[in-house]
Structure 1
Amino acid sequence: MSTCTTLSRELTEPLAATAATAATWLLVEQSGPWGAKALVESHLDTAVGRALETAAAGTGVRVALIRSPGRHADAQAAPHEVIVAHTAPGRSWVRRTAVTDPAELLALDLAALGAGEHGGLGTEHTGGPVALVCTNGRRDRCCALLGRPLAAELAAAGHGEVWEVTHLGGHRFSPTMLVLPYGYAYGRLSGASAKEVLASTAAGHTVPEFSRGRSCWQRPGQAAEHAVRLATGETAADALTVEAERADGGGWAVEVRHTDGRRWLVPVTEGVSLPPRPESCGKAAGTPSRMTAGPVERL
């Protein structure tokens, strides 16, 4: 059976610069089934889900639902675990709290959270990495078929804190995983490679081989940062920052800075992936956008 993931892998579609963009993640525990548009198609009150989605628009905050791996109750009693994470280099943090009613979250200042200001929300997460594995089969069957077994394996192995999550984008790269606190997304993972990613994250590093990008940057910045990592061999998660991203003809000129003072200029262009392929199972074949970065120039 051909799926969007098998076809993407066979066509060697690059993973780099495909991460969902979000400076801050607002993750709300909600057990039970999830629909394709989970915020308004789950046991979460539809009005609350729609209001959170509306309030987050333009703030840099991405709202998603999470649940524990494995079998779960069809409904959920209070409280609901809430994880909020800001992913900018050198300023990343993870805070957690719990709410009796998710409607309480409508009082949050999402603009401030998107800017990296938590205002003392909840308590600081001091444990290891937090892994979010996309498992929403109503969004794409590959996420359920590949994501749920991975989430269960990681949870059983005790490799950090593991949650199933509703949507990380890029179904054709399943199984996909976002890891906090740094906010790097990964794709085409196996149990072994996912454990490698979590161990590296715990040590303050990223694994470029499986990386889709850091969610705090737009796709041109993700592409440029990845190109610098490949050119230099740098894996420290917080070593690189996208300093400037400006339009340059038909693409972008992106400046990347290292914490040691080194700087690089990386040209990035946007093209399409050929031949056409479905971006998600059941969808018509299309030509997904792809970013090409380089050559990397030392400044």
Structure 2
Amino acid sequence: MTTPARFLCADAARLRGDPIAGTAPYGSVWILIEYRAGWPSDGFDGLDLEPEVKALVRSAAQAVRARVLLIRRHGRRRPDDRPRWAVLRYEKDGAHSQEWGTWDDDRDLAGIVTALDAPGERGHPPVFLVCAHGLHDTCCAVRGRPVARALSEGWPQLVWECSHVGGDRFAANVVAAPDGVYYGNLDAPLAFTVVEEHLTNRIRADHLRGYTDLVPPHQAALAAVLRHAGPSGRHDYVIEEAVRDGDRWRIRVAGRLGGLSTFEVEIRARRAPAHQLTCRGPSPGSAVYYDVMSLRVG
């Protein structure tokens, strides 16, 4: 009797050719908590913290629609320094902010709430979060950890493994925060190139899931522009106008710098047939994808 092959959602998604553009979740604030013990499958919600502190952080995060992620350095090494927490915030003017603190006691995490009301410090380089949450999804570990190892060798101070960021089938996933840029379908060499170029403000469409300050059809339109016009900076294009008609959008993407064109992009939403979308998914799910129907210089 033949043993059935283990289902891996990222392998299945690649075989199906699942589109990647337009799949980044919306958000502009990240709360990071360094946690060096094993991560529960549901991340922060599953931590054994003081209930009052946990409720305080959760409520403050929900108020600003912040995503709470657990982080650790690759290899689960246990350095002598104290675990850290951070509040990272994306600003539309490009001046991102970060506020970092440390914690030994659960009550120290209340500093996160104060930091959410503070302006934060500007001028720091982004951090790169590699989803490696194996207890949540097998592909995040199988594909994420080799990427985290490679990136940690190149940028040890900027790279963290993190808990679930969404889109397990696009593993390995890398998030640049607080830039709010999601990359997916990466392996170690590709991830190294993506991060290297991101740090020089060159973003390519090939592995771009989207910008988290944009809704999915806008993400797909901007990715189409980058695919057509070539790599560009995080803030080089802006969504100038978007008109929806049923399952279609007409989106005007304008270059903000001299020499960059303006584009008219037509996007159509379609719901794919139901598939098992995650390794541990209890039942099939149906994703919505955004196809580029036309693109022309406006």
Distance 1:204 1:33 in 2: 35
- The answer for the alignment partner of 2:96 in structure 1 is 93
- The answer for the alignment partner of 2:14 in structure 1 is 9
What percent identity do the matched residue pairs reach?
25
CA contact (8 A) 2:203 2:231 kept: no
CA contact (8 A) 2:143 2:187 kept: no
Higher mean displacement: 242-251 or 2-11: 242-251
Identify if the C-alpha distance between structure 1 residues 156 and 108 changes in structure 2 by more than 3 Å, giving closer, same or farther: closer
In structure 1, runs of 5+ residues without a counterpart are 111-117
Matched, 1:19 2:17: no
Distance 1:267 1:46 in 2: 48
Matched, 1:84 2:91: no
> How far did 1:47 drift?
4.2
**Helix, strand or coil for the counterpart of 2:151?**
helix
Distance 1:78 1:177 in 2: 25
Aligned length: 286
Identify if the C-alpha distance between structure 1 residues 125 and 69 changes in structure 2 by more than 3 Å, giving closer, same or farther: farther
Q: Matches of residues 15-54 of structure 1 in structure 2 within 5 Å? A: 15-54=20-59
Matched, 1:124 2:131: no
Identify if the C-alpha distance between structure 1 residues 59 and 181 changes in structure 2 by more than 3 Å, giving closer, same or farther: closer
CA contact (8 A) 2:88 2:177 kept: no
- Using structure 2 for the length normalisation, give the TM-score: 0.85
- The answer for the alignment partner of 2:284 in structure 1 is 285
Q: Matches of residues 129-148 of structure 1 in structure 2 within 5 Å? A: 129-148=126-145
**1:175-195 deviation per Cα after TM superposition (whole angstroms, max 9, x unaligned):** 110123532111111111000
Q: Matches of residues 207-286 of structure 1 in structure 2 within 5 Å? A: 207-260=204-257, 262-274=261-273, 276-283=274-281, 284-286=283-285
> How far did 1:172 drift?
0.5
**Helix, strand or coil for the counterpart of 1:238?**
coil
Identify if the C-alpha distance between structure 1 residues 44 and 177 changes in structure 2 by more than 3 Å, giving closer, same or farther: farther
Distance 2:295 2:25 in 1: 24
Identify if the C-alpha distance between structure 1 residues 77 and 51 changes in structure 2 by more than 3 Å, giving closer, same or farther: farther
CA contact (8 A) 2:88 2:178 kept: no
CA contact (8 A) 2:22 2:209 kept: yes
CA contact (8 A) 1:159 1:198 kept: no
CA contact (8 A) 1:52 1:63 kept: no
RMSD: 2.6
> How far did 1:96 drift?
3.1
1:84 maps to amino acid: L
> How far did 1:79 drift?
4.9
- The answer for the alignment partner of 1:113 in structure 2 is none
> How far did 1:224 drift?
1.0
Identify if the C-alpha distance between structure 1 residues 125 and 213 changes in structure 2 by more than 3 Å, giving closer, same or farther: same
> How far did 1:8 drift?
0.3
2:225 maps to amino acid: V
**Helix, strand or coil for the counterpart of 1:277?**
coil
In structure 2, runs of 5+ residues without a counterpart are 1-5
> How far did 1:97 drift?
1.7
Distance 1:160 1:199 in 2: 14
Identify if the C-alpha distance between structure 1 residues 242 and 270 changes in structure 2 by more than 3 Å, giving closer, same or farther: same
CA contact (8 A) 2:173 2:182 kept: yes
**1:129-160 deviation per Cα after TM superposition (whole angstroms, max 9, x unaligned):** 42100011122111122212221222123376
CA contact (8 A) 2:129 2:174 kept: yes
